[in-house]
Structure 1
Amino acid sequence: MKYRVASVQYKLADIASFEQFAEQVTHYVRNASEYGTQFILFPEFMTTQLLSIGDGEGKALTIDRLPEFTEAYETLFASLAAEYGVYIVGGTHVVDVGDGKRQNTAHLFHPNGQIDRQPKIHLTPTEVSEWSMSPGDGLNVFETAFGTIAMLTCYDIEFPEIVRMARAKGADVIFCPSCTDDRHGFHRVRYCCHARAVENQVYVVTTGTVGALRKVDFMRANYGQAAIIAPNDIPFPPGGILSEGVINDDMLVVADLDLSLLEDVRAGGSVTTWRDRRTDLYPDWS
Protein backbone atom coordinates (compact mmCIF):
# COMPACT_ATOMS: atom_id res chain seq x y z
CA MET A 1 0.00 0.00 0.00
CA LYS A 2 1.21 3.46 -0.88
CA TYR A 3 -0.12 6.86 0.13
CA ARG A 4 1.00 10.47 0.13
CA VAL A 5 1.58 12.64 3.19
CA ALA A 6 2.13 16.36 3.67
CA SER A 7 3.84 17.90 6.69
CA VAL A 8 3.19 21.57 7.42
CA GLN A 9 5.71 24.08 8.76
CA TYR A 10 3.00 26.21 10.33
CA LYS A 11 3.99 29.86 10.69
CA LEU A 12 2.85 31.37 13.97
CA ALA A 13 1.97 35.06 13.96
CA ASP A 14 -0.29 37.16 16.15
CA ILE A 15 -3.92 37.21 15.03
CA ALA A 16 -7.07 39.11 15.98
CA SER A 17 -9.80 36.48 15.51
CA PHE A 18 -10.55 32.77 15.20
CA GLU A 19 -11.48 33.45 11.58
CA GLN A 20 -7.88 34.39 10.81
CA PHE A 21 -6.72 31.10 12.31
CA ALA A 22 -9.28 29.22 10.21
CA GLU A 23 -8.17 30.99 7.03
CA GLN A 24 -4.53 30.03 7.64
CA VAL A 25 -5.35 26.39 8.40
CA THR A 26 -7.60 26.17 5.34
CA HIS A 27 -4.82 27.58 3.16
CA TYR A 28 -2.46 24.75 4.16
CA VAL A 29 -5.09 22.04 3.70
CA ARG A 30 -6.08 23.37 0.29
CA ASN A 31 -2.42 23.59 -0.71
CA ALA A 32 -1.74 20.02 0.42
CA SER A 33 -4.82 18.75 -1.42
CA GLU A 34 -3.43 20.13 -4.68
CA TYR A 35 -0.60 17.59 -4.33
CA GLY A 36 -3.03 14.69 -3.96
CA THR A 37 -2.19 13.96 -0.32
CA GLN A 38 -4.14 11.54 1.86
CA PHE A 39 -2.64 12.63 5.22
CA ILE A 40 -1.72 16.11 6.48
CA LEU A 41 0.29 16.77 9.65
CA PHE A 42 0.24 20.04 11.60
CA PRO A 43 2.63 20.85 14.50
CA GLU A 44 2.30 20.75 18.25
CA PHE A 45 0.84 23.77 20.08
CA MET A 46 -0.31 25.37 16.83
CA THR A 47 -3.51 26.52 18.55
CA THR A 48 -1.57 28.69 20.99
CA GLN A 49 -1.87 31.17 18.14
CA LEU A 50 -5.44 31.67 19.37
CA LEU A 51 -4.11 33.09 22.65
CA SER A 52 -2.71 36.05 20.72
CA ILE A 53 -6.29 37.18 19.98
CA GLY A 54 -6.04 38.70 23.42
CA ASP A 55 -8.33 39.83 26.18
CA GLY A 56 -9.36 43.16 24.69
CA GLU A 57 -6.82 45.05 26.78
CA GLY A 58 -3.74 44.25 24.74
CA LYS A 59 -2.70 41.17 26.71
CA ALA A 60 -2.63 37.60 25.41
CA LEU A 61 -5.06 35.07 26.76
CA THR A 62 -3.57 32.67 29.29
CA ILE A 63 -3.14 28.94 28.67
CA ASP A 64 -6.16 28.04 30.81
CA ARG A 65 -8.34 29.85 28.25
CA LEU A 66 -7.21 27.70 25.32
CA PRO A 67 -9.71 24.86 25.95
CA GLU A 68 -12.49 27.41 25.30
CA PHE A 69 -11.65 27.03 21.60
CA THR A 70 -11.93 23.22 21.55
CA GLU A 71 -15.35 23.02 19.91
CA ALA A 72 -14.43 25.54 17.20
CA TYR A 73 -11.07 23.83 16.62
CA GLU A 74 -12.64 20.40 16.22
CA THR A 75 -15.42 21.71 13.99
CA LEU A 76 -12.92 23.45 11.71
CA PHE A 77 -10.61 20.47 11.25
CA ALA A 78 -13.41 17.93 10.97
CA SER A 79 -15.07 19.99 8.24
CA LEU A 80 -11.80 20.31 6.29
CA ALA A 81 -11.09 16.57 6.56
CA ALA A 82 -14.56 15.86 5.18
CA GLU A 83 -14.47 18.53 2.46
CA TYR A 84 -11.07 17.49 1.10
CA GLY A 85 -11.38 13.75 1.80
CA VAL A 86 -8.14 13.59 3.81
CA TYR A 87 -6.92 12.50 7.21
CA ILE A 88 -5.59 15.43 9.23
CA VAL A 89 -3.40 15.22 12.29
CA GLY A 90 -4.40 18.62 13.59
CA GLY A 91 -1.24 19.20 15.56
CA THR A 92 -2.06 19.36 19.25
CA HIS A 93 -4.65 21.33 21.18
CA VAL A 94 -4.95 21.83 24.93
CA VAL A 95 -8.17 20.28 26.26
CA ASP A 96 -9.88 20.08 29.64
CA VAL A 97 -10.10 16.53 30.97
CA GLY A 98 -11.94 17.20 34.23
CA ASP A 99 -10.89 17.63 37.84
CA GLY A 100 -9.16 20.85 36.88
CA LYS A 101 -6.71 19.04 34.62
CA ARG A 102 -5.78 19.78 31.03
CA GLN A 103 -3.79 17.81 28.49
CA ASN A 104 -1.79 18.60 25.36
CA THR A 105 -3.64 16.34 22.95
CA ALA A 106 -2.98 15.26 19.36
CA HIS A 107 -6.12 14.90 17.24
CA LEU A 108 -6.68 12.71 14.18
CA PHE A 109 -9.57 13.87 12.00
CA HIS A 110 -10.94 11.22 9.63
CA PRO A 111 -12.73 12.07 6.37
CA ASN A 112 -15.88 10.37 7.71
CA GLY A 113 -16.09 12.70 10.71
CA GLN A 114 -14.48 10.43 13.29
CA ILE A 115 -12.04 12.12 15.69
CA ASP A 116 -9.32 10.19 17.55
CA ARG A 117 -7.24 11.68 20.34
CA GLN A 118 -3.86 10.90 21.92
CA PRO A 119 -2.72 12.96 24.93
CA LYS A 120 0.99 13.63 25.15
CA ILE A 121 2.50 11.01 27.45
CA HIS A 122 5.79 12.62 28.45
CA LEU A 123 5.74 16.27 29.50
CA THR A 124 8.61 18.73 29.47
CA PRO A 125 9.42 20.70 32.63
CA THR A 126 7.92 23.87 31.12
CA GLU A 127 4.62 22.15 30.35
CA VAL A 128 4.36 21.04 33.97
CA SER A 129 5.70 24.05 35.87
CA GLU A 130 4.43 26.90 33.68
CA TRP A 131 1.30 25.49 32.03
CA SER A 132 0.17 22.89 34.62
CA MET A 133 -0.35 20.13 32.06
CA SER A 134 -1.21 16.56 32.98
CA PRO A 135 0.28 13.60 31.07
CA GLY A 136 -1.67 11.00 29.17
CA ASP A 137 -1.82 7.58 30.80
CA GLY A 138 -1.91 5.27 27.80
CA LEU A 139 -0.82 4.69 24.23
CA ASN A 140 -3.32 4.18 21.43
CA VAL A 141 -2.86 3.30 17.78
CA PHE A 142 -5.42 4.21 15.18
CA GLU A 143 -6.84 2.34 12.21
CA THR A 144 -7.24 4.20 8.93
CA ALA A 145 -7.95 3.25 5.34
CA PHE A 146 -4.17 3.34 4.86
CA GLY A 147 -3.12 1.17 7.77
CA THR A 148 -2.29 1.67 11.42
CA ILE A 149 -0.72 4.87 12.71
CA ALA A 150 0.32 6.37 16.04
CA MET A 151 0.58 9.97 17.20
CA LEU A 152 3.48 10.70 19.54
CA THR A 153 4.08 14.34 20.35
CA CYS A 154 7.53 15.95 20.44
CA TYR A 155 9.12 14.83 23.75
CA ASP A 156 7.37 11.44 23.40
CA ILE A 157 9.63 10.51 20.49
CA GLU A 158 12.66 10.79 22.79
CA PHE A 159 11.56 7.67 24.69
CA PRO A 160 12.34 4.46 22.74
CA GLU A 161 9.99 2.30 24.80
CA ILE A 162 6.82 4.10 23.77
CA VAL A 163 7.64 3.80 20.06
CA ARG A 164 8.41 0.10 20.54
CA MET A 165 4.93 -0.22 22.01
CA ALA A 166 3.37 1.60 19.06
CA ARG A 167 5.12 -0.70 16.58
CA ALA A 168 4.16 -3.78 18.63
CA LYS A 169 0.53 -2.61 18.38
CA GLY A 170 0.88 -2.55 14.58
CA ALA A 171 1.77 1.05 13.75
CA ASP A 172 3.76 1.45 10.53
CA VAL A 173 3.80 5.25 10.60
CA ILE A 174 4.45 7.54 13.57
CA PHE A 175 3.15 11.10 13.24
CA CYS A 176 5.18 13.38 15.48
CA PRO A 177 3.91 16.96 15.84
CA SER A 178 6.50 19.06 17.57
CA CYS A 179 7.22 22.55 18.91
CA THR A 180 10.76 23.58 19.80
CA ASP A 181 12.14 27.03 20.48
CA ASP A 182 15.83 26.56 19.72
CA ARG A 183 18.29 24.37 17.85
CA HIS A 184 19.01 22.19 20.87
CA GLY A 185 15.40 21.13 21.23
CA PHE A 186 14.90 20.80 17.50
CA HIS A 187 17.86 18.47 17.07
CA ARG A 188 16.89 16.36 20.08
CA VAL A 189 13.54 15.64 18.48
CA ARG A 190 14.88 15.26 14.94
CA TYR A 191 17.70 12.86 15.82
CA CYS A 192 15.31 10.77 17.90
CA CYS A 193 12.88 10.56 14.97
CA HIS A 194 15.65 9.03 12.89
CA ALA A 195 16.63 6.63 15.67
CA ARG A 196 13.05 5.44 16.15
CA ALA A 197 12.68 4.87 12.38
CA VAL A 198 15.83 2.71 12.36
CA GLU A 199 15.00 0.79 15.55
CA ASN A 200 11.45 -0.07 14.56
CA GLN A 201 11.64 0.00 10.75
CA VAL A 202 8.80 2.50 10.52
CA TYR A 203 8.17 5.84 8.82
CA VAL A 204 8.19 8.95 11.01
CA VAL A 205 6.43 12.09 9.81
CA THR A 206 7.34 15.13 11.87
CA THR A 207 7.01 18.89 11.82
CA GLY A 208 7.40 21.92 14.05
CA THR A 209 6.14 25.44 14.47
CA VAL A 210 7.97 28.35 12.88
CA GLY A 211 7.49 32.09 13.32
CA ALA A 212 6.71 33.82 16.63
CA LEU A 213 3.85 34.86 18.89
CA ARG A 214 5.03 38.13 20.35
CA LYS A 215 2.30 38.28 23.00
CA VAL A 216 2.26 34.66 24.17
CA ASP A 217 4.63 33.47 26.89
CA PHE A 218 6.89 30.56 25.88
CA MET A 219 5.83 30.87 22.21
CA ARG A 220 7.92 33.90 21.27
CA ALA A 221 10.62 31.80 19.61
CA ASN A 222 10.23 28.77 17.36
CA TYR A 223 12.77 26.71 15.45
CA GLY A 224 11.22 24.12 13.19
CA GLN A 225 11.44 21.97 10.10
CA ALA A 226 9.17 19.34 8.61
CA ALA A 227 10.59 15.99 7.56
CA ILE A 228 9.36 12.64 6.31
CA ILE A 229 11.76 9.99 7.55
CA ALA A 230 12.39 6.37 6.56
CA PRO A 231 14.68 3.61 7.84
CA ASN A 232 18.28 3.90 6.64
CA ASP A 233 18.25 0.93 4.31
CA ILE A 234 17.89 0.08 0.65
CA PRO A 235 15.45 0.94 -1.00
CA PHE A 236 15.16 4.19 0.99
CA PRO A 237 17.46 7.23 0.67
CA PRO A 238 20.81 6.65 2.44
CA GLY A 239 20.16 9.50 4.87
CA GLY A 240 16.66 8.27 5.66
CA ILE A 241 15.04 11.51 4.48
CA LEU A 242 12.23 11.23 1.95
CA SER A 243 11.54 14.97 2.11
CA GLU A 244 12.37 17.91 4.36
CA GLY A 245 11.62 21.60 4.47
CA VAL A 246 13.75 24.70 4.68
CA ILE A 247 14.33 25.46 8.36
CA ASN A 248 12.01 28.15 9.74
CA ASP A 249 10.24 28.81 6.44
CA ASP A 250 6.46 28.91 5.97
CA MET A 251 5.90 25.83 3.79
CA LEU A 252 4.88 22.19 3.55
CA VAL A 253 6.69 19.09 2.32
CA VAL A 254 5.26 16.04 0.59
CA ALA A 255 6.35 12.42 0.11
CA ASP A 256 4.93 9.01 -0.68
CA LEU A 257 4.97 6.25 1.97
CA ASP A 258 5.15 2.71 0.59
CA LEU A 259 4.22 0.27 3.35
CA SER A 260 5.31 -2.73 1.27
CA LEU A 261 8.90 -1.47 1.41
CA LEU A 262 8.76 -1.58 5.21
CA GLU A 263 7.72 -5.22 5.03
CA ASP A 264 10.58 -5.92 2.62
CA VAL A 265 13.26 -4.49 4.91
CA ARG A 266 11.77 -6.11 8.01
CA ALA A 267 11.97 -9.48 6.28
CA GLY A 268 15.31 -9.15 4.52
CA GLY A 269 16.95 -5.75 4.83
CA SER A 270 20.62 -5.04 5.37
CA VAL A 271 19.66 -5.15 9.04
CA THR A 272 16.43 -6.45 10.56
CA THR A 273 16.24 -4.46 13.76
CA TRP A 274 12.64 -5.27 14.59
CA ARG A 275 13.06 -9.01 14.11
CA ASP A 276 16.43 -9.11 15.88
CA ARG A 277 15.25 -7.70 19.19
CA ARG A 278 16.79 -9.62 22.11
CA THR A 279 13.64 -10.06 24.11
CA ASP A 280 15.43 -12.62 26.24
CA LEU A 281 17.48 -9.71 27.62
CA TYR A 282 14.94 -6.89 27.70
CA PRO A 283 11.14 -6.68 27.66
CA ASP A 284 9.02 -7.44 24.62
CA TRP A 285 6.69 -4.43 24.52
CA SER A 286 4.14 -6.38 22.51
Structure 2
Amino acid sequence: MKMRVSAVQYHLHSISSFDEFAAQCEHYVKTSGEYGTEFLLFPEFFTTQLMSIGDHDGKALSIQDLPNFTDQYIELFRRLAKESNMHIIGGTHVVHRNEQLYNVAHLFYPDGTVGEQAKLHITPTEVQEWNMAPGESFDIFETSKGKIALLTCYDIEFPEIVRMAKAKGADVIFCPSCTDDRHGFHRVRYTSHARAVENQVYVVLTGTVGALPTVDFMRANYGQAAIISPNDIPFPPRGILAEGEINDDMIVTADLDLNLLYEVRVHGSVTTWRDRRIDLYPDWN
Protein backbone atom coordinates (compact mmCIF):
# COMPACT_ATOMS: atom_id res chain seq x y z
CA MET A 1 0.00 0.00 0.00
CA LYS A 2 1.20 3.49 -0.84
CA MET A 3 0.18 6.91 0.41
CA ARG A 4 1.14 10.24 -1.12
CA VAL A 5 2.09 12.85 1.45
CA SER A 6 2.93 16.54 1.18
CA ALA A 7 4.37 18.95 3.72
CA VAL A 8 3.98 22.73 3.64
CA GLN A 9 6.81 25.11 4.46
CA TYR A 10 4.28 27.70 5.56
CA HIS A 11 5.33 31.31 5.01
CA LEU A 12 4.52 33.52 7.97
CA HIS A 13 3.94 37.18 7.23
CA SER A 14 1.69 39.85 8.68
CA ILE A 15 -1.96 39.80 7.64
CA SER A 16 -4.98 41.98 8.34
CA SER A 17 -7.88 39.49 8.40
CA PHE A 18 -8.85 35.85 8.87
CA ASP A 19 -9.81 35.79 5.20
CA GLU A 20 -6.17 36.37 4.24
CA PHE A 21 -5.13 33.43 6.41
CA ALA A 22 -7.86 31.26 4.86
CA ALA A 23 -6.81 32.18 1.32
CA GLN A 24 -3.19 31.24 2.01
CA CYS A 25 -4.19 27.89 3.52
CA GLU A 26 -6.52 27.18 0.60
CA HIS A 27 -3.69 27.92 -1.84
CA TYR A 28 -1.52 25.21 -0.25
CA VAL A 29 -4.37 22.71 -0.19
CA LYS A 30 -5.32 23.30 -3.84
CA THR A 31 -1.68 23.10 -4.94
CA SER A 32 -1.21 19.83 -3.06
CA GLY A 33 -4.39 18.52 -4.65
CA GLU A 34 -2.84 19.08 -8.07
CA TYR A 35 -0.09 16.66 -7.00
CA GLY A 36 -2.58 14.00 -5.93
CA THR A 37 -1.77 14.39 -2.26
CA GLU A 38 -3.66 12.19 0.19
CA PHE A 39 -2.15 13.45 3.48
CA LEU A 40 -1.11 17.09 3.87
CA LEU A 41 0.92 18.43 6.81
CA PHE A 42 0.98 22.05 8.01
CA PRO A 43 3.49 23.20 10.65
CA GLU A 44 3.26 23.91 14.35
CA PHE A 45 2.09 27.36 15.48
CA PHE A 46 1.28 28.48 11.94
CA THR A 47 -1.99 29.97 13.22
CA THR A 48 0.03 32.51 15.23
CA GLN A 49 -0.13 34.41 11.93
CA LEU A 50 -3.62 35.41 13.07
CA MET A 51 -2.08 37.33 15.98
CA SER A 52 -0.57 39.75 13.46
CA ILE A 53 -4.08 40.97 12.56
CA GLY A 54 -3.84 43.08 15.68
CA ASP A 55 -6.37 44.98 17.75
CA HIS A 56 -8.07 48.34 17.21
CA ASP A 57 -4.87 50.11 18.26
CA GLY A 58 -2.73 48.21 15.77
CA LYS A 59 -1.01 46.16 18.48
CA ALA A 60 -0.53 42.44 17.84
CA LEU A 61 -2.91 40.09 19.57
CA SER A 62 -1.63 37.99 22.46
CA ILE A 63 -1.43 34.23 22.75
CA GLN A 64 -4.48 34.46 25.02
CA ASP A 65 -6.44 35.85 22.06
CA LEU A 66 -5.52 33.07 19.65
CA PRO A 67 -8.13 30.54 20.91
CA ASN A 68 -10.80 33.04 19.86
CA PHE A 69 -10.16 31.87 16.28
CA THR A 70 -10.66 28.17 17.05
CA ASP A 71 -14.15 27.84 15.61
CA GLN A 72 -13.16 29.59 12.37
CA TYR A 73 -10.00 27.48 12.11
CA ILE A 74 -11.94 24.23 12.59
CA GLU A 75 -14.61 25.26 10.10
CA LEU A 76 -12.01 26.27 7.50
CA PHE A 77 -9.97 23.08 7.62
CA ARG A 78 -12.97 20.80 7.91
CA ARG A 79 -14.24 22.36 4.66
CA LEU A 80 -10.85 22.11 2.95
CA ALA A 81 -10.48 18.44 3.90
CA LYS A 82 -13.94 17.63 2.55
CA GLU A 83 -13.50 19.57 -0.68
CA SER A 84 -10.04 18.15 -1.38
CA ASN A 85 -10.80 14.61 -0.14
CA MET A 86 -7.53 14.74 1.82
CA HIS A 87 -6.48 13.97 5.33
CA ILE A 88 -5.12 17.33 6.49
CA ILE A 89 -2.94 17.65 9.57
CA GLY A 90 -3.74 21.29 10.26
CA GLY A 91 -0.48 21.98 12.04
CA THR A 92 -1.17 23.03 15.60
CA HIS A 93 -3.52 25.61 17.01
CA VAL A 94 -3.65 26.98 20.55
CA VAL A 95 -6.87 26.10 22.35
CA HIS A 96 -8.23 27.10 25.76
CA ARG A 97 -9.61 24.37 28.01
CA ASN A 98 -10.11 24.12 31.76
CA GLU A 99 -8.42 27.49 32.31
CA GLN A 100 -5.31 26.27 30.46
CA LEU A 101 -3.75 26.84 27.04
CA TYR A 102 -2.84 23.75 24.99
CA ASN A 103 -0.88 23.45 21.76
CA VAL A 104 -3.04 20.98 19.82
CA ALA A 105 -2.41 19.19 16.53
CA HIS A 106 -5.58 18.59 14.53
CA LEU A 107 -6.28 15.85 12.00
CA PHE A 108 -9.09 16.71 9.58
CA TYR A 109 -10.57 13.68 7.82
CA PRO A 110 -12.24 13.89 4.39
CA ASP A 111 -15.58 12.96 5.97
CA GLY A 112 -15.50 15.95 8.33
CA THR A 113 -14.28 14.08 11.42
CA VAL A 114 -11.65 15.91 13.48
CA GLY A 115 -9.00 14.21 15.61
CA GLU A 116 -6.87 16.03 18.18
CA GLN A 117 -3.53 15.43 19.86
CA ALA A 118 -2.18 17.96 22.34
CA LYS A 119 1.58 18.42 22.43
CA LEU A 120 2.94 16.23 25.21
CA HIS A 121 6.30 17.85 25.90
CA ILE A 122 6.34 21.61 26.37
CA THR A 123 9.47 23.67 25.82
CA PRO A 124 10.71 26.15 28.43
CA THR A 125 9.66 29.09 26.22
CA GLU A 126 6.14 27.73 25.86
CA VAL A 127 5.90 27.39 29.64
CA GLN A 128 7.57 30.60 30.71
CA GLU A 129 6.33 32.99 28.03
CA TRP A 130 2.98 31.50 26.97
CA ASN A 131 2.00 29.46 30.06
CA MET A 132 1.22 26.36 28.00
CA ALA A 133 0.12 23.09 29.59
CA PRO A 134 1.17 19.63 28.31
CA GLY A 135 -1.29 17.14 26.89
CA GLU A 136 -2.35 14.34 29.20
CA SER A 137 -3.08 11.52 26.74
CA PHE A 138 -1.65 10.00 23.58
CA ASP A 139 -3.71 8.64 20.69
CA ILE A 140 -3.10 6.75 17.47
CA PHE A 141 -5.34 7.65 14.53
CA GLU A 142 -6.93 5.14 12.17
CA THR A 143 -7.07 6.23 8.53
CA SER A 144 -7.91 4.62 5.21
CA LYS A 145 -4.17 4.02 4.72
CA GLY A 146 -3.42 2.64 8.18
CA LYS A 147 -2.46 4.02 11.57
CA ILE A 148 -0.63 7.32 12.05
CA ALA A 149 0.57 9.40 14.99
CA LEU A 150 0.80 13.17 15.48
CA LEU A 151 3.82 14.25 17.52
CA THR A 152 4.62 17.93 17.64
CA CYS A 153 8.17 19.32 17.39
CA TYR A 154 9.74 18.75 20.84
CA ASP A 155 7.78 15.49 21.15
CA ILE A 156 9.93 13.83 18.48
CA GLU A 157 13.03 14.36 20.66
CA PHE A 158 11.74 11.76 23.14
CA PRO A 159 12.32 8.19 21.90
CA GLU A 160 9.85 6.63 24.33
CA ILE A 161 6.77 8.24 22.81
CA VAL A 162 7.68 7.20 19.26
CA ARG A 163 8.36 3.66 20.45
CA MET A 164 4.89 3.71 21.99
CA ALA A 165 3.41 4.96 18.71
CA LYS A 166 5.00 2.08 16.79
CA ALA A 167 3.98 -0.46 19.46
CA LYS A 168 0.41 0.75 18.96
CA GLY A 169 0.69 0.15 15.22
CA ALA A 170 1.60 3.55 13.72
CA ASP A 171 3.69 3.35 10.53
CA VAL A 172 3.86 7.09 9.85
CA ILE A 173 4.65 9.87 12.31
CA PHE A 174 3.52 13.36 11.28
CA CYS A 175 5.57 16.00 13.05
CA PRO A 176 4.48 19.65 12.73
CA SER A 177 7.31 21.86 13.98
CA CYS A 178 8.27 25.48 14.57
CA THR A 179 11.87 26.44 15.28
CA ASP A 180 13.44 29.88 15.34
CA ASP A 181 17.11 29.03 14.76
CA ARG A 182 19.41 26.38 13.35
CA HIS A 183 20.03 24.77 16.72
CA GLY A 184 16.37 24.06 17.32
CA PHE A 185 15.81 23.02 13.73
CA HIS A 186 18.60 20.46 13.76
CA ARG A 187 17.53 19.03 17.10
CA VAL A 188 14.15 18.21 15.59
CA ARG A 189 15.56 17.10 12.23
CA TYR A 190 18.25 14.80 13.60
CA THR A 191 15.96 13.16 16.14
CA SER A 192 13.36 12.60 13.41
CA HIS A 193 15.95 10.56 11.54
CA ALA A 194 16.82 8.67 14.71
CA ARG A 195 13.18 7.79 15.36
CA ALA A 196 12.79 6.53 11.77
CA VAL A 197 15.83 4.27 12.15
CA GLU A 198 14.95 3.01 15.62
CA ASN A 199 11.35 2.11 14.81
CA GLN A 200 11.49 1.55 11.05
CA VAL A 201 8.75 4.10 10.40
CA TYR A 202 8.32 7.10 8.15
CA VAL A 203 8.48 10.60 9.63
CA VAL A 204 6.87 13.53 7.82
CA LEU A 205 8.25 16.79 9.18
CA THR A 206 7.72 20.46 8.41
CA GLY A 207 8.21 23.89 9.94
CA THR A 208 7.38 27.54 9.60
CA VAL A 209 9.37 29.99 7.48
CA GLY A 210 9.18 33.78 7.19
CA ALA A 211 8.57 36.17 10.09
CA LEU A 212 5.90 37.90 12.13
CA PRO A 213 7.63 41.18 13.11
CA THR A 214 4.89 42.26 15.53
CA VAL A 215 4.34 38.91 17.28
CA ASP A 216 6.55 38.08 20.25
CA PHE A 217 8.53 34.84 19.91
CA MET A 218 7.49 34.46 16.26
CA ARG A 219 9.82 37.07 14.77
CA ALA A 220 12.32 34.47 13.57
CA ASN A 221 11.68 31.13 11.89
CA TYR A 222 14.09 28.57 10.47
CA GLY A 223 12.34 25.74 8.67
CA GLN A 224 12.57 22.97 6.13
CA ALA A 225 10.18 20.16 5.33
CA ALA A 226 11.46 16.61 5.01
CA ILE A 227 9.90 13.23 4.32
CA ILE A 228 12.13 10.75 6.12
CA SER A 229 12.50 6.98 5.76
CA PRO A 230 14.53 4.31 7.53
CA ASN A 231 18.11 3.92 6.29
CA ASP A 232 18.13 0.65 4.41
CA ILE A 233 18.62 -0.57 0.84
CA PRO A 234 15.02 -0.11 -0.42
CA PHE A 235 15.19 3.55 0.64
CA PRO A 236 17.52 6.45 -0.21
CA PRO A 237 20.90 6.07 1.58
CA ARG A 238 20.41 9.31 3.55
CA GLY A 239 16.87 8.34 4.51
CA ILE A 240 15.37 11.37 2.74
CA LEU A 241 12.54 10.82 0.26
CA ALA A 242 12.06 14.57 -0.24
CA GLU A 243 13.15 17.81 1.39
CA GLY A 244 12.53 21.48 0.74
CA GLU A 245 14.83 24.43 0.32
CA ILE A 246 15.59 25.93 3.72
CA ASN A 247 13.37 28.92 4.58
CA ASP A 248 11.56 28.98 1.23
CA ASP A 249 7.78 29.08 0.81
CA MET A 250 7.07 25.70 -0.80
CA ILE A 251 5.53 22.23 -0.63
CA VAL A 252 7.36 18.89 -0.79
CA THR A 253 5.71 15.62 -1.85
CA ALA A 254 6.63 11.93 -1.81
CA ASP A 255 5.04 8.49 -1.94
CA LEU A 256 5.33 6.32 1.19
CA ASP A 257 5.43 2.61 0.39
CA LEU A 258 4.16 0.89 3.53
CA ASN A 259 4.99 -2.56 2.18
CA LEU A 260 8.68 -1.64 2.18
CA LEU A 261 8.45 -0.94 5.91
CA TYR A 262 6.99 -4.38 6.52
CA GLU A 263 9.74 -5.98 4.42
CA VAL A 264 12.69 -4.28 6.09
CA ARG A 265 11.34 -5.04 9.56
CA VAL A 266 11.78 -8.71 8.69
CA HIS A 267 14.49 -8.87 6.03
CA GLY A 268 16.36 -5.57 6.30
CA SER A 269 20.11 -5.09 6.63
CA VAL A 270 19.24 -4.40 10.26
CA THR A 271 15.95 -5.21 11.96
CA THR A 272 15.86 -2.67 14.75
CA TRP A 273 12.18 -3.11 15.57
CA ARG A 274 12.38 -6.90 15.74
CA ASP A 275 15.68 -6.87 17.62
CA ARG A 276 14.65 -4.59 20.46
CA ARG A 277 15.32 -6.22 23.86
CA ILE A 278 11.88 -6.13 25.43
CA ASP A 279 13.20 -8.51 28.07
CA LEU A 280 15.37 -5.63 29.28
CA TYR A 281 13.29 -2.59 28.28
CA PRO A 282 9.56 -3.04 27.64
CA ASP A 283 7.52 -1.26 25.02
CA TRP A 284 5.60 1.73 26.34
CA ASN A 285 1.97 0.93 25.58
C-alpha separation in 2, matches of 1:222 and 1:59? 21
> Which secondary structure state, in structure 1, belongs to the residue aligned with residue 222 of structure 2?
coil
Q: What CA deviation, in whole Å up to 9, does each residue of 1:215-270 have, x standing for no partner? A: 00000000000000000001000000000000000000000001000000001100
1:146 and 1:279 map into 2 onto residues whose CA distance is: 28
Cα separation, 1, equivalents of 2:57 and 2:101: 26
**Partner Cα distance (1:36, 1:235) in 2:** 23
State the partner residue of 2:88.
Answer: 88
Provide the rounded CA distance (Å) in 1 between the counterparts of 2:217 and 2:56. 21
- Per-residue CA deviations over 1:187-222 (Å, capped at 9, x if unaligned) read 000000000000000000000000000100000000
Give 5+ residue unaligned stretches, structure 2. Answer: none
Q: Name the counterpart of 1:30.
A: 30
Q: Is it true that 1:63 corresponds to 2:47 in the alignment?
A: no
**Hey, what does 2:188 align to over in structure 1?**
189
**What letter corresponds to residue 12 of structure 1 in structure 2?**
L
> Using the alignment, how far apart are the partners of 2:210 and 2:189 within structure 1?
18
Q: What is the alpha-carbon distance in structure 1 between the residues aligned to residue 238 and residue 90 of structure 2?
A: 28
Are 1:242 and 2:241 an aligned pair?
yes
AA partner of residue 115 (structure 1): V
What secondary structure, in the 3-state scheme, does the structure 1 residue paired with 2:264 have? helix
- Equivalent residue, structure 1, for 2:211: 212
Match of 1:75 in 2: 75
Q: Structure 2 matches for 1:1-286, cutoff 5 A?
A: 1-98=1-98, 100-286=99-285
Q: How many Å separate the matches in 2 of 1:77 and 1:266?
A: 35
**Identity across the alignment (%):** 70
Question: What secondary structure does 1:10 align onto?
Answer: strand
Secondary structure, aligned partner of 1:118: strand
Q: Deviations over 1:60-82 (max 9, x none)?
A: 00000000000000000000000
SS of the equivalent of 2:65 reads helix
Structure 1 runs (4+) deviating above 4 angstroms are none
Q: CA deviation at 1:56?
A: 1.6
The amino acid of 1:79's aligned partner reads: R
Unmatched runs of 5 consecutive residues or more in structure 1: none
Query: 1-side partners of 2:147 and 2:283: how far apart?
Result: 20
1:11 aligned partner, one-letter code? H
> SS of 2:132's equivalent?
coil
TM-score, length-scaled by structure 2: 0.99
Q: Amino acid of the residue matched to residue 221 of structure 1? A: A
Shift of 1:283: 2.2
2:185 aligns to what SS in structure 1? Answer: helix
CA distance in 2, matches of 1:234, 1:245: 23
Q: Quote the RMSD (CA, aligned, Å).
A: 0.5
